């Protein structure tokens, strides 16, 4: 424990003023600030320092402060709807048909809940005396007093008024101070020293560079420009108050970083509609109309139809395989099925439409956007999520070019070890699944890629090879941010957001 002399030397004039007010019985920082004509935050800062030195005890709390809403203030003046209905009903009661004002009708249910009246055969009949309830007392008190501590009001009645939108509340920090024996001793020493000291000096809490260079030092005092100053000791081991700066959400920073990488690699960003026709979402990608992916458990269908382009070549490809050496799917391709609107299940629906509108090389495009599927919500699945997709179309492209682009992208994302496993996707051939190595997890699959089949590109006049790949952004985000629950990406968990370092390279 520091000596009393050391403790006293750490007290600034403001600390001494605050300590004196607390000694005189002032326990509220607002009243101390008002008396000393300083800011309340300055009083709290001094009080925290005094508490650190054991000179005062400090009690922090959070208090609920309640006030009337606009509607609550009106009811406080004219009465609650149920009370006004009783006044209209009198002793004999009143037919329901006479309660025509919508603002009054809401009180009928409350009359029954409170047991003030019965409502039978279309008539409201009072049930004896209806004494003022706790809720009415609260309304009257808040109208008269204004903002009031929630602890001073009946808990159940207050909860009821909040549910009716008549009272609103906010949380407010509360502080209470009390001087300790050590504080009284330090204050007495400071006052005795002030009375006995013949030296006249000012107090300085911040030393300037010029003071260090040109001042004349004597222990804790410095003579500077004709004035003697006492310098307050500064303890560098004390923890600083934690600051929570404003910052971009970690998931948004990850999406931005991915967008930057794609733009650096020469891609053009494209966008598309969330609501797509089944034609662009499925048929244009050579998915058969009886494919399981189209079933209701995977897709959100809308109760409407979309216009679709000339579908003759797509129909021919599905039924007979066109002229690319394919056998197609056989059967009859139905344009009405293709017209059904869906919430897009992948961003490939945007990509293929863009390629259809730009059939000539070169094309190098990407999109980062949200897609929708009927998934049960759990730590690794949500019904809506982001997907990153890229395509390249040009002369002379090969499967090896695709693997090179993917390695380049993942390297820029910070993954040094990348490998590829053969995979299957309905609209690419050959297809691969890229995997990256994560310390502690091993190899993790992060997407799918391949070369668009000729059954996909030929109906739209696309003659060059198209390299395509897609990435589920959520899984990558979980790996980069160290999450075990995907839902955290979409929740405003302030604790997690504050703890996530701003300097983390996405």
340 pLDDT more than 80: yes
State residue 410 phi and psi, 5-degree precision: -65, -30
State residue 297's pLDDT score.
59
Specify whether domain 67-173 bears CATH 2.60.120.
no
Q: Helix, strand or coil for residue 231? A: strand
Q: If you average pLDDT over residues 482-491, what whole number do you get?
A: 79
Read off the pLDDT band of 192 (50, 70, 90): low
Alpha helices in 265-387 (DSSP H): 278-281, 312-320, 335-338, 348-357
405 pLDDT more than 90: yes
Question: Using an 8 Å Cβ cutoff, are 341 and 279 in contact?
Answer: no
Read off the pLDDT band of 505 (50, 70, 90): low
Read off the pLDDT band of 503 (50, 70, 90): low
Count of C-beta atoms within a 10 Å radius of residue 157:
17
Q: If you average pLDDT over residues 428-450, what whole number do you get?
A: 87
Sheet order of strands, 275-277 included: 275-277, 340-343, 301-305
Q: If you average pLDDT over residues 479-487, what whole number do you get?
A: 79
Q: Which two three-digit tokens encode residue 487?
A: 């839902």
Gap between the Cα atoms of 171 and 149, Å rounded: 10
67-173 and 250-499 in the same fold: no
Query: Is 307 assigned to a binding site?
Result: no
Query: Is 384 assigned to a binding site?
Result: no
Over the stretch 302-338, which tens digit does the pLDDT of each residue have?
A: 999 999 999 899 999 999 988 888 988 888 999 999 9
1 pLDDT more than 50: no
Domain chopping of the chain, boundaries: 67-173, 198-238, 250-499
Q: If you average pLDDT over residues 63-67, what whole number do you get?
A: 87
Read off the pLDDT band of 200 (50, 70, 90): very low
Over the stretch 123-135, which tens digit does the pLDDT of each residue have?
A: 888 887 888 889 8
Count of C-beta atoms within a 10 Å radius of residue 164:
16
7 pLDDT more than 60: no
Q: If you average pLDDT over residues 167-193, what whole number do you get?
A: 80
Question: Using an 8 Å Cβ cutoff, are 14 and 190 in contact?
Answer: no
CA angle 23/64/158 to nearest 5° reads 135
Question: Using an 8 Å Cβ cutoff, are 369 and 347 in contact?
Answer: yes
Q: Which two three-digit tokens encode residue 204?
A: 């300085």
Could you tell me the end-to-end alpha-carbon distance of the chain, in angstroms, rounded to an integer?
Answer: 47
Q: Helix, strand or coil for residue 323? A: coil
Give the rounded percent of residues in the chain with a pLDDT score beyond 90.
26
CATH architecture of the domain with range 250-499: 2-Layer Sandwich (3.30)
Query: Is 388 assigned to a binding site?
Result: yes
**What is the secondary structure of 390-442 as a DSSP string?**
EEEE-TT--HHHHHHHHHHHHHHTT---EEEEEEEETTEEEEEEEEEEETTTE
Question: Using an 8 Å Cβ cutoff, are 28 and 40 in contact?
Answer: no
Q: Given the structure tokens 């794609």, which residue do they identify?
A: 262
State residue 336's pLDDT score.
93
Gap between the Cα atoms of 331 and 319, Å rounded: 6
DSSP state of 233: P
Query: Is 399 assigned to a binding site?
Result: no
Q: 114-123: string of b/e by CB count within 10 Å (b at 16+)?
A: bebbeeeeeb
Gap between the Cα atoms of 471 and 347, Å rounded: 10
| Residues in a beta bridge with 216 | 223
Gap between the Cα atoms of 371 and 348, Å rounded: 10
State residue 109's pLDDT score.
84
Question: Using an 8 Å Cβ cutoff, are 355 and 363 in contact?
Answer: yes
Over the stretch 107-160, which tens digit does the pLDDT of each residue have?
A: 888 888 888 888 888 888 888 788 888 988 988 988 888 888 888 888 898 898
Read off the pLDDT band of 101 (50, 70, 90): confident
256 pLDDT more than 60: yes
Gap between the Cα atoms of 461 and 154, Å rounded: 75
Query: Is 177 assigned to a binding site?
Result: no
241 pLDDT more than 50: yes
Read off the pLDDT band of 506 (50, 70, 90): low
Q: If you average pLDDT over residues 341-347, what whole number do you get?
A: 92
């Amino acid at each position: 424990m520091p000596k009393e002399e050391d403790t006293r030397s750490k007290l600034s004039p403001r600390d001494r003023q605050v300590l004196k007010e607390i000694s005189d019985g002032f326990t509220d920082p607002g009243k101390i600030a008002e008396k000393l004509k300083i800011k309340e935050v300055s009083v709290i800062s001094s009080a925290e320092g005094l508490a650190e030195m054991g000179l005062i005890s400090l009690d922090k709390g959070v208090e609920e402060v309640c006030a009337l809403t606009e509607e609550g203030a009106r009811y406080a003046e004219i009465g609650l709807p149920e009370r006004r209905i009783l006044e209209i009903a009198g002793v004999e009661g009143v037919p329901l048909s006479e309660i025509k004002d919508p603002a009054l009708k809401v009180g009928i249910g409350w009359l029954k809940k409170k047991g003030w009246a019965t409502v039978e055969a279309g008539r409201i009949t009072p049930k004896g005396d209806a004494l003022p309830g706790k809720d009415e007392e609260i309304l009257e008190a808040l109208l008269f007093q204004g903002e009031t501590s929630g602890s001073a009001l009946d808990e159940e009645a207050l909860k009821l008024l909040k549910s009716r939108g008549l009272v609103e509340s906010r949380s407010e920090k509360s502080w209470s101070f009390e001087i300790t024996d050590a504080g009284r001793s330090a204050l007495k020493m400071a006052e005795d020293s002030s009375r006995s000291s013949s030296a006249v000096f000012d107090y300085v809490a911040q030393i300037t560079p010029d003071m260090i260079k040109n001042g004349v030092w004597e222990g804790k005092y410095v003579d500077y420009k004709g004035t003697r100053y006492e310098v307050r000791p500064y303890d560098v081991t004390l923890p600083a108050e934690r600051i929570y700066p404003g910052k971009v959400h970690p998931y948004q920073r990850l999406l931005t970083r991915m967008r930057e990488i794609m733009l650096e690699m020469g891609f053009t960003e494209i966008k598309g509609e969330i609501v797509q026709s089944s034609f662009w979402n499925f048929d244009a990608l050579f998915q058969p109309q009886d494919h399981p992916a189209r079933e209701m458990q995977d897709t959100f269908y809308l109760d409407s139809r979309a216009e679709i382009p000339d579908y003759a070549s797509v129909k021919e490809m599905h039924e007979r395989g066109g002229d690319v050496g394919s056998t197609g799917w056989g059967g009859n391709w139905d344009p009405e099925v293709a017209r059904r609107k869906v919430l897009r299940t992948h961003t490939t629906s945007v990509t293929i439409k863009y390629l259809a509108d730009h059939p000539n090389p070169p094309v190098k495009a990407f999109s980062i956007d949200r897609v929708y599927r009927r998934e049960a919500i759990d730590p690794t699945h949500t019904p809506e999520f982001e997907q990153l997709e890229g395509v390249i179309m040009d002369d002379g492209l090969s499967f090896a070019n695709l693997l090179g682009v993917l390695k380049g992208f993942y390297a820029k994302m910070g993954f040094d070890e990348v490998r590829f496993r053969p995979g299957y996707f309905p609209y690419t051939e050959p297809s691969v699944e890229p995997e990256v190595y994560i310390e502690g997890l091993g190899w993790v699959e992060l997407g799918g890629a391949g070369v668009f089949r000729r059954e996909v590109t030929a109906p739209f006049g696309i003659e060059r090879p198209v390299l395509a790949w897609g990435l589920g952004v959520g899984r990558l985000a979980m790996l980069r941010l160290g999450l075990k629950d995907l839902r955290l990406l979409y929740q405003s968990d302030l604790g997690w957001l504050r703890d996530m370092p701003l300097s983390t390279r996405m």
